[in-house]
Amino acid sequence: MTKRHIEPLLWLLFSGGGVVAAVFLPILVVLFGLAIPLGWVQPDYDQLHAVVGHWLTRLVLLGLLVLMLFHWAHRFRYTLYDGLQLRRLDAPIAVLCYGGALVGSLAALLIVLTV
Amino acid sequence: MSAPATYRQPVSRLWWLKKRTYFLFVMRELSSIFVAWFAVFLMIMVVAIGRGEASYQSFLSWAASPVVVVVNVVALAFVVLHTVTWFALTPQAMVVRGPGGRWVPRIKEVRVAGRLVPAATVVRVGGRVPAGIVIASQYVGLVVVSAFIAWLVLR
């Protein structure tokens, strides 16, 4: 019964995460996943440190990470239900997905508070 | 004789390989795995940056290892698929209204103490922003955000 009540909230988190992933992730993957590690561009470390250390960056980063994790949780839950026909495992899958997103969100909170 | 109401035709676990649209649907759903992967990747990176330049350099050499690069190339493909499909679905998920609409009076039935009674109201008609414009403006947002982040990091 409680699950019914939080379903709209979970959908909202999924939806918000979908928006931020669509808008922010392409540039972030290109920049931090490929261009910088492969040496196509070389940002100054002190500059990077200053950007990441700024309170506004940390706040935005926390929002992005939490929304993206819950986006994954919600969508992946239904991928397992429909794609792999695992409807019988409803409860454990939900616990695993949302629990994983919650643990990840707490880690993200810890990281932005201590970085 | 009881009706076979609970019968469900068994569906193959590989149903999504049977049609191109099914396959694209499942690929779109799988993009969430790479959204989560990159959230974790960003967290590892931020921790490394916070610990000092040496730690950041060892993060970079890990991120440049072939396995991680391949994962990130695949992640980029899935992220682009996510962006394109998400933007395309937005006009279907929400109605965006511009200044062109107008309010018109209507009579609606509302339930008062269990009885349906007529009540006067106004509803918004017209002025709906065309789907193409909604989609295009999202790409403008994408370009602005991307340019800002690139500028912030590389200036």
Residue B27 is encoded by which pair of tokens?
Answer: 């690929």
B-interface mutation test, from A14, A25, A38, most B Cβ less than 10 A away: A25
Q: Write down the ipTM of this complex.
A: 0.93
Residue A3's pLDDT is 55
Residue A2 binned pLDDT confidence (cut-offs 50, 70, 90): low
CB contact under 8 A, A23 and B50: no
Output the pLDDT for position A4.
Answer: 64
Q: Do residues B81 and B88 lie in contact, with contact meaning Cβ atoms separated by under 8 Å? A: no
Measured in angstroms, the CA of B155 and the nearest CA of chain A are apart by 8
Count interface pairs A-B at CB distance under 8 A.
Answer: 149
Q: Per residue in B74-98, pLDDT tens? A: 999 999 999 999 999 988 888 888 7
Residue A101 pLDDT: 97
pLDDT at B1: 53
For Cα atoms A97, A99, A101, give the angle at the middle one, nearest 5 degrees.
Answer: 70
| Residue from A20, A29, A59, A69 to probe the interface with B (highest B Cβ count within 10 Å) | A29
Q: Do A25 and B83 touch (CB under 8 A)?
A: yes
Q: Which residue of chain B has the CA closest to A29?
A: B76
Question: If pLDDT is split at 50, 70 and 90, which confidence band does A1 have?
Answer: very low
**Six-digit token pair at B10?**
């068994």
> Residue B17's closest chain A neighbor by CA?
A83
Read off the pLDDT of residues A19-76 as tens digits, 9 standing for 90 and up.
Answer: 999 999 999 999 999 999 999 999 999 999 999 999 999 999 999 999 999 999 999 9
The 3-class SS string of chain B reads CCCCCCCCCCCCCCHHHCCHHHHHHHHHHHHHHHHHHHHHHHHHHHHHHHCCHHHHHHHHHHHCCHHHHHHHHHHHHHHHHHHHHHHHHHHHHCCCECCCCEEEEEEEEEEECCEEEEEEEEEEECCECCHHHHHHHHHHHHHHHHHHHHHHHHC
Q: Give pLDDT, residue A54.
A: 95
Low-confidence ranges of chain B (pLDDT < 50): none
Contacting residues of B for A111, CB less than 8 Å apart:
43, 46-47, 50
- For the entire predicted model, the pTM comes to 0.84
